[in-house]
Amino acid sequence: MEIIQNIIEYYDELYPISEAQKNFYRELTNLYQDPAKLLRVGCGTGFFEHLLAREGKDVTGIEDFPELLRSANLRRRNQLMSIRFFQMSYLDMVRFLGKGFYNIISILEDRITSIHDRTLLRKFFFDSKQLLCKDGSLVIGMYNYDKFKDSTKFDLPARESLRTKLFSSIGIRDDGQAILKQSVETGSGKLLPVTQDKPVYLLHTKEIELFAKEAGFKNINFYADYSKTPFTGEQDSFIALIS
């Protein structure tokens, strides 16, 4: 169960856009003819998508949660920008979006773990390959679960801003299913639930390589951050750039 309204006020603070992220995407979009066409799976409040659209990119965002999607659409003040948002699951994207259309597909901020079934994860890579143009790129941003592969319960690094903190913990059930719990601490110190007993899949780097190659991708590069710091396997999170 997810109580998204408890985090909406703080969402952009907890998931800020760094200059390194902007530069990473500028470098990536420069590989394609303008306007580069981008799809964000799990776009949240659409803050980053509006930044990209203001730079002249053609941007699509899909989001499961209507509360987040409402915030994304409220940002649409300039009708001249090429940007659109849809309430849509990753399961439906290959049915309703244009095949071979996108230059870049992104699923960031650990949202890929919400695809909590291994078979569906493999499908996501195949679907992304279908939606991408011939030389398109898939970008995945997530925690490094290789660090916790022998643990049955662990805390993820907390996200925090001046006003709030987001706490996340993972527990592994006897049947092997990973369960996510999240809570947000308000400025007054009150702890509010955000995610309770949510099944997730702790995708590992070796599986990313396997699923990407099965889907027909040729190049898989892992970075520790958007500055393209080499990923050693010891860092808390990584960016996978797949093409």
pLDDT digits 0-9 by tens, 129-175: 999 999 999 999 999 999 998 899 999 999 999 999 999 999 999 99
Tokens of 182: 């999240």
Q: Per residue in 183-194, pLDDT tens?
A: 999 888 899 999
| Strand ranges of the sheet holding 178-185, from the earlier edge strand across to the other edge | 153-160, 165-172, 178-185, 191-200
- Amino acid found at 34: D
pLDDT for res 75: 79
The backbone torsions φ and ψ at residue 238, rounded to the nearest 5 degrees and listed phi first, read: -155, 165
% of the chain with per-residue pLDDT over 70: 98
Q: Per residue in 62-71, pLDDT tens?
A: 999 999 999 9
CA–CA distance, 171 with 157 (Å, rounded to integer): 15
Tokens of 218: 């040729």
pLDDT at 18 over 90: yes
Place 73 in a pLDDT band, splitting at 50, 70 and 90: confident
pLDDT at 79 over 70: no
| Partner residues linked to 168 by β-bridges | 156, 182
CA–CA distance, 129 with 133 (Å, rounded to integer): 8
For the chain, what is the radius of gyration of the CA atoms? 17
Instruction: Please name the residue that has the structure tokens 């309204």.
Output: 5
How many DSSP H helices and E strands does the chain contain? Answer: 7, 11
Map residue 85 onto helix, strand or coil: strand
DSSP characters over 106-171: EE-TTGGGG--SHHHHHHHHHHHHHHEEEEEEEEEEEE-GGGGTT-SEEEEEEEE-SS-EEEEEEE
Q: Average pLDDT of the chain? A: 95
pLDDT at 1 over 70: no
Q: Which of 193, 237, 241, 235 is nearest to 217 (CA)?
A: 241
CB 220 within 8 A of CB 214: no
User: Please, what is the angle between helix 205-215 and helix 118-131, to 10°?
Assistant: 50
Cβ atoms < 10 Å from Cβ of 39: 26
Helices in the chain by DSSP H: which ranges?
Answer: 11-14, 19-29, 47-54, 66-74, 93-96, 118-131, 205-215
pLDDT for res 35: 96
pLDDT for res 188: 83
- Amino acid found at 165: K
Q: Per residue in 187-214, pLDDT tens?
A: 888 999 999 999 999 999 999 999 999 9
Cβ atoms < 10 Å from Cβ of 194: 22
pLDDT for res 106: 98
Q: Per residue in 36-50, pLDDT tens?
A: 999 999 999 999 999
pTM of the complete model beyond 0.85: yes
